[in-house]
Structure 1
Amino acid sequence: MKELAYLNKFFFKYKWQLLPGVLFVIISNFFAVLPAQIIRIAFDLVNENIALYRLFNGFDKQSLILDIFGSSLLLFGGLVIVIALIRGLFLFFMRQTIILTSRHIEFDLKNEIYNQYQKLSLAFYRRNNTGDLMNRVTEDVSRVRMYVGPAIMYTINTSVLFVLIIIAMLSVNVKLALYCLAPLPLLAITIYYVNSIINHKSEKIQRRLSTLSSFVQETFSGIRVVKSYVRENNIRDGFAKESEAYKSESLDLVKVQAFFFPTMLLMVGLSTIITIYIGGLQVMNGKISSGNIAEFIVYVNQLTFPVTSLGWVTSLVQRAAASQKRINQFLKTKPEIINPNPNPLKVNGAISFQNVSFTYPDTGIKALKNVSFEIKEGELLAIIGRTGSGKSTIANLVMRMYDVDEGEIKIDHTNIKYLNLEDYRSQTGFVPQEVFLFSDTIARNIAFGQDQLDMQKVEKAAKDAAVYKNIIAFDKKFETFIGERGITLSGGQKQRVSIARAIIKSPQILIFDDCLSAVDTKTEEEILNSLGNVMKGKTSILIAHRVSTIKNADKIIVLDNGEIVEHGTHHLLMNKKGVYFELYEKQLLEEQQELS
């Protein structure tokens, strides 16, 4: 229960909804106990009236006694029905308060998890797969809701009913009550033993479900690759294997529960047999009436549902505890990137790297080693280098997706760690190497960073990104719906839509992380010419593989194995005839071979 203690704050928040629910539980159970006492009176009345009826056999008053007897039974029957209706009304109120509150708690918990996800850094998402993240905010929360709703409701209901019935039984005959309740300690031991088994198996089931969800999510995300390589049968076999593992774990839990419920029913049946036997002896000794036996049997049968539901509630609580444990793991994860400064920020665009070194926490790869450079306001810095040289790492560090291990990054002469992160990122346009587009219209994808959809700005951004002509060629133009991850568009179109999304907000810093790799040289030149006007007066970082993309930059740095091996302008680096010159010559040769 220590994992479920996290939910106590929600119980306190909704205490004024829960407390009336508890009151309705007590009232409904009070009316649940009354029918047994009415049945005892009616049963004794039947015995007495039968004897009286036989005594007046042959007399005229016998029919009068029969009428009185029938009316009395009808009255008692009517009372039982009325009490049942009153109890049903309070049960309705109980569900309307407790179950409704559980839905509010479910809503709050989902939002809290989702907000926590948004606070966590990029490194967290590299360590955890999407399917598992989704499963914790959906399936795990649903199981927790079964605890805060039905499980708690039935626990309170069962506890109150137990107390009221035991008090009623003890008030009639202590000896008979003790004999009837004798099997309950054995039942408690059984529940304690089975609880640990259910808890262990519930955790295994949730882990299996996360694995299965991840498998499905990954398959559907990469469906084009699956179809291209004709791996449908292998994927189907993999899914069947994961499903079989999940089914096996679930069946193991069902087997435990299948043993649990009959055992509890056996204990209740044993109590009924004891009630009849011991009660019969008490009647013969004149200590209780036969109506008391009927009353005790009703009490024992009333305990049947609470006892059987105890196993179900136990299962709910254990599965909820397993799910809450998984949820708590992420809720207790501290964000590696925090926003320490709430003060408004105006970005001018000066960027400085001072002896920066960085190692990716999840892989241990040292991406940057003692890197230093400066960009003045409004300058264009170009970064070039081989694959894996650390170019994208610089872009991620400027966006503060990660914090540096050594050295510091300054924006406008202030350490990036002490800036208002939201304000800083809102004034920075970032086009990542891996383009991600949402399942929405092209217009909404371009205007993603805007509070309102301004079509004039959207169209201008599309023109600056040289994608306007492609968009208006579609039947629905800017209202064309993009499939998941932009599957409707070509690679070059996706990159240009991503560029339009970055420049529409007129940021002071622009970062292009190899965003022109999927376009031809002619389109690249068209985009760069359009961006020339956009980038005027703004600090820009252009990461590329092709020298032709960056030759007009104010500064160029050449990276190799996480270190700056050369820096300067295009002409200066060409005259050095070093790494940059070799890259230029190699790419020029490749272009000539393609043309020939």
Structure 2
Amino acid sequence: MKHLAYLNKYFFKYKYYLLLGILFTLISNLFGIIPAQVVRHALQMVKANVDLYLLFDQAELQNSTYSLFTYSITFFGLVILGMAILKGIFLFAVRQTLIVMSRHIEYDLKNEIYAHYQTLPLSFYKQNSTGDLMARISEDVSKVRMYVGPSLMYLINMVILVFLVLSYMFSVNARLTWYVLIPMPILSLSIFIVSSIVNKRSEQIQKSLSNLSTFVQEAFSGIRVIKSFAKEEEFIADFAKESNVYKDKSMDLTKVDSLFSPSIMFLIGLSTVICVYVGGQEIISGRLTPGNITEFIMYVFMLTWPLTALGWTSSQIQRAAASQKRINEFLFTKTDIVSEENLKPEVKGKIVFDNVSFKYPDTGIEALKNISFEVNPGESLAIIGTTGSGKSTIANLILRLYNTGSGTIKIDNHEIKSFEIPYLRNQMSFVPQDVFLFSDTISNNIKFGNNEVTELEVKEAARNADLLENIERFDQKFETKLGERGITLSGGQKQRVSLARAIIKNPKILILDDCLSAVDTTTENTILNNLRSVMEGKTTILISHRVSNARLADKIIVLDEGRIVEFGDHKTLIQSPGAYRELYELQSNSEELIEEKYS
């Protein structure tokens, strides 16, 4: 139960639901126990009246005795019916408190997990699969709800009922009660053993389910690749293998569950046999009446359902414990991206890197080595380099998606770690290399950068990204609904929507990470010309492997294997031999060859 102890704060929050549920359970069980005593009195009354009826055979009093007899039987029957109705009413109230409480806890827990996910660093998402994250917030939370709802309800009902029934049984005959309880230690031991097995197998099932969810999520996300390589049959076979693993583990758990309930029923049946045998001896000795034995047997049968449900409840609690353990693993994971001072100064846009080095925590790759540069407010800096040279890492560090390994980054002479993180990121716009669009309209995807803009501003941002003409061709224009991850659009269109989203935010710092790699040269030139006005007054970081993008920048740095190998402006670098000039000539020659080929 140590993992489930995390939920105690929710029980305290919804304590009134819990307390009312316990009260209603107590009342409903009282109305369930009273009929057993009514039956005892009815049997004793029947026995006495039958003897009296036979005594007045052929006498006038016999009719009166019969009338009294039938009246009493009817009265006892109505009392039992009334108790059943009242018990049903309070059972309804039990569900309206305890089950409703479980739904509130499920809602709160899902929100807590999702909110916590948002605080975790980028490295966490690189180390954990999307399918596993989804399984913990959906399947695992559902298992936990079964504990805080139905399992808890049945457990409370069992405890109260056992206490009430045993109290009545001991008050009637302690010797018979002790005999009836003989199978109970065996029952407790079997529950303990089975619960341990169920807990272990439940953990294995949840891990298998996470693997299955991850496989399906990746298959659906990469469906175009799967179809283009005609790999559908292979993926169907792989899915069958993963499903088979999940099925086998589920079957192993089902075998344990299927043996558990019959064992409990056997032990309860044994209690009934003991009750009849020992009770018969007590009747012969004159210490009990047949009505008492009937009452006892009814009590034993009252215990049948709660003790049978104990097996199911125990299984559900163990499954919930396994799921809550998995949830806690992520909830107890804390981010190291925290603010040291929560500063919110006015940002002008000066950026300083001072001997910054960085190694990715998940791979151990050293991406930057003693990087130093300075960008003044309103200036633009182009970062050029080959794939893997560390360009995107600089963008991630400015956005503070990672902490620096060594060295310092300052913005307006304040160390970046002193800024309140949401405030810092709100001063920036970022166009990532790997574009992500939401399953929403084009308009809302652009407004994601700033929800308070007008439709005219949305159109202007689209025009600056050279996207307006494309959008106008769609039937629903800006209200065109995009598919998952923007699948409706081409690669170049997605990049331009992402660019418009960044432009409309009107930030102090604009970071463009190879955002024009999927557009043609003509479109690129148009966008670059439009960006000249957009970049005015903003500190701009242009990251690219294309030299053509660097021409806009006031300063240029060339990276190679995480180090700065050249620094200057376009005019200076193009005149001196080096990596920048070599890259410029190589790309210029390639473009000329392409133009000659298709001219």
Scaled to the shorter chain, the TM-score interval is over 0.9
Does residue 314 of structure 1 match 2:327?
Answer: no
Q: Does 1:549 align with 2:549?
A: yes
2:111: which partner in 1? 111
Counterpart-to-counterpart distance in 1, 2:109 and 2:560? 46
Contact 2:28 2:91 in 1 (8 A): yes
Give the Cα separation in 1 of the matches to 2:60 and 2:261: 56
Amino acid at match of 1:156: I
Is the 1:353–1:373 contact (alpha carbons within 8 Å) kept by the matching residues of 2?
yes
Instruction: Tell me how far apart the structure 2 counterparts of residues 187 and 532 of structure 1 sit (CA, whole Å).
Output: 79
Length, aligned pairs only = 596
Tell me by how many angstroms 1:449 deviates: 2.5
Distance 2:400 2:90 in 1: 56
Deviations 1:278-331 (A, max 9, x none): 111110110000001100110000000001000011011000000000000000
Query: Deviation digits for residues 149-185 of structure 1, max 9, x if unmatched?
Result: 1111111110000000001000111111111111111
1:252-291 correspondence runs (5 A): 252-291=252-291
Provide the residue aligned with 1:490 in structure 2.
490
CA distance in 2, matches of 1:450, 1:35: 68
Q: Which moved more, 1:363-372 or 1:574-583?
A: 574-583
User: Judging changes above 3 Å, is the alpha-carbon distance between structure 1 residues 453 and 223 closer, same or farther for their aligned structure 2 residues?
Assistant: farther
User: In 1, are the aligned partners of 2:367 and 2:561 still within 8 Å (CA)?
Assistant: yes
Shift of 1:533: 0.3
Q: Name the aligned partner's letter for residue 51 of structure 2.
A: A
Report what 2:339 is aligned to: 339
Does residue 225 of the first structure (1) align with residue 225 of the second (2)? yes
**Structure 1 position 56, deviation (Å):** 1.6
Equivalents in 2 of 1:529, 1:426: separation in Å?
26
1:340 CA drift (Å): 4.0
- Structure 2 distance, partners of 1:442, 1:403, is 33
RMSD: 1.0
Task: State the secondary structure of the residue aligned to 1:169.
Answer: helix
Larger CA deviation: 16-25 vs 451-460:
451-460
Q: 2:234 aligns to what?
A: 234
- Distance in 1 of aligned mates of 2:527 and 2:542: 13
CA contact (8 A) 1:3 1:328 kept: yes
Name the residue aligned to 1:362: 362
State how far apart, in whole Å, the 1-side matches of 2:222 and 2:72 are.
75
Residue 196 of structure 2 aligns with which residue?
196
Q: Distance in 2 between matches of 1:379 and 1:71?
A: 101
Shift in Å at residue 344 of structure 1? 3.2
Deviation at 1:453, TM superposition (A): 5.5
Alignment-derived partner of residue 580 in structure 1: 580
Is 2:301 the counterpart of 1:301?
yes
Q: CA deviation at 1:343?
A: 4.5
State how far apart, in whole Å, the 1-side matches of 2:164 and 2:539 are. Answer: 76
Partner of 2:501: 501
Decide whether the 8 Å contact of 2:3 with 2:321 is kept in 1. yes
Partner of 2:150: 150
Distance of 1:199 and 1:110 partners within structure 2 = 23
- TM superposition shift of 1:17: 2.0
The alignment partner of 1:364 has SS state of coil
The 8 Å contact of residues 345 and 424 in structure 1, kept in 2 or not, is answered as no
For 1:520-563, what per-residue CA distance to the aligned partner results, in whole angstroms no more than 9, with x for missing partners? 11111100111110100110000111111112311110000010
Counterpart Cα distance in 2 of 1:470 and 1:152: 58
Instruction: Give the conservation status (yes or no) of the 8 Å contact 1:102–1:145.
Output: yes
Distance in 2, matches of 1:298 and 1:276, equals 11
Q: Residue by residue, what CA displacement relative to the aligned partner does 1:326-376 show, whole Å, maximum 9, x if unpaired?
A: 000000001121234444332100000000000110011110011110001
The one-letter code of the counterpart of 2:566 is E
What is the identity, as a one-letter code, of the residue corresponding to 1:347?
V
When normalised by structure 2's length, the TM-score is 0.98
Task: Determine whether 1:395 maps to 2:408.
Answer: no
For the Cα contact (< 8 Å) 1:574–1:580, is it kept in 2? yes
Counterpart residue number, 1:384 = 384
Equivalent residue number for residue 456 of structure 1: 456
SS at structure 1 position matched to 2:401? coil
Tell me how far apart the structure 2 counterparts of residues 479 and 580 of structure 1 sit (CA, whole Å): 43
Provide the rounded CA distance (Å) in 2 between the counterparts of 1:544 and 1:486. 23
For 1:342 and 1:387, the matched residues in 2 are separated by 35
Partners of 1:349 and 1:508 within 8 A in 2: yes
The Cα offsets for residues 6-64 of structure 1, whole Å up to 9 and x where unpaired, read as 00111111112211111111111111111111111111112222222222222222222
- Say which SS state the counterpart of residue 333 (structure 2) adopts: coil
User: Is the partner of 1:367 in helix, strand or coil?
Assistant: strand
Provide the residue aligned with 2:534 in structure 1: 534
Corresponding residue number in structure 2 for 1:350: 350
Q: Could you list the per-position Cα deviations for residues 483-533 of structure 1 after superposition, in whole angstroms to 9, with x for gaps in the alignment?
A: 001111011100000000001010010000000100111111100111110
Amino acid at match of 2:160: V
Counterpart residue identity of residue 241, structure 2: K
Structure-1 separation of matches of 2:588 and 2:504: 34
1:423 positional shift: 1.4
Q: Look up the SS of the partner of 1:383 in the other structure.
A: strand
Aligned to 1:69: 69
Please identify, of 506-515 and 47-56, the stretch whose mean Cα deviation from structure 2 is larger. 47-56
Q: What secondary structure does 2:184 align onto?
A: helix
Aligned partner of 1:214 in structure 2 is 214
Instruction: Judge conservation of contact 2:344–2:419 (CA < 8 Å) in 1.
Output: no
Would you say the 8 A contact 1:195–1:318 is kept in 2?
yes
Alignment correspondent of 2:132 = 132
> Retained in 2: the 8 A contact 1:345–1:423?
no
Amino acid at match of 1:584: Y
| Cα distance in 1, alignment partners of residues 206 and 485 from structure 2 | 28
Q: Does 1:408 align with 2:418?
A: no
Secondary structure, in 3 states, of the residue corresponding to 1:344? Answer: coil
Is residue 130–residue 214 contact of structure 1 (8 Å, CA) maintained in 2?
yes
Alpha-carbon distance between aligned partners in 1 of 2:552 and 2:159, rounded to the nearest angstrom: 79
- Residue 83 of structure 1 and its aligned partner are, at CA, apart by 0.8
Looking at structure 2, the residues matched to 199 and 10 of structure 1 have their Cα atoms a distance apart, in angstroms, of 23
Partner residue of 2:33?
Answer: 33
Moved more, 445-454 or 501-510: 445-454
1:88 paired with 2:78, answer: no
Which residue identity lines up with residue 240 of structure 1 in the other structure? A
**DSSP-derived class of the 2:356 partner:** strand
Residues 316 and 192 (structure 1), Cα distance of their counterparts in 2 relative to 1, 3 Å cut: same
Aligned-pair distance for 1:88?
1.2
1:354–1:408 Cα contact (<8 Å) kept? yes
Aligned partners of 1:357, 1:176: CA distance in 2, in Å? 80
- SS of the counterpart of 2:407? strand
Q: CA deviation at 1:575?
A: 2.0
Q: Is the 8 A contact 1:344 1:420 kept in 2?
A: yes
Return the alpha-carbon distance in structure 1 between the equivalents of residues 14 and 451 of structure 2: 33
Task: Quote the offset at 1:271 in angstroms.
Answer: 0.7
Alpha-carbon offset, residue 139 of structure 1: 0.8
Contact map agreement 1:409 1:416 (CA 8 A) in 2: yes
Q: How far apart, CA to CA, are the structure 2 residues paired with 1:297 and 1:73?
A: 21
Structure 1 Cα separation of the partners of residues 6 and 345 of structure 2: 36
CA contact (8 A) 1:341 1:421 kept: no
Pair 453,78 (structure 1): closer, same or farther in 2 beyond 3 Å: farther
Decide whether the 8 Å contact of 2:203 with 2:319 is kept in 1: yes
Unmatched segments (≥5 aa) in structure 1: none
Gaps of 5+ in 2: none
Matched residue SS, 1:556: strand
Question: In structure 1, what is the Cα distance between the partners aligned to 2:340 and 2:579?
Answer: 41
Distance (whole Å) between structure 2 residues aligned to residue 558 and residue 482 of structure 1: 37
Between the aligned partners of 2:457 and 2:228, the Cα distance in structure 1 is 38
For the 8 Å contact 2:151–2:316, the answer to whether it is kept is: yes
> What percent identity do the matched residue pairs reach?
56
Matched, 1:7 2:7: yes
CA–CA distance in structure 1, aligned partners of residues 388 and 120 of structure 2: 25
AA matched with 1:138: S
Q: Distance in 2 between matches of 1:273 and 1:84?
A: 27
Residues 172-183 of structure 1: pairs in structure 2 closer than 5 A = 172-183=172-183
Structure 2 counterpart of 1:517, which letter? S
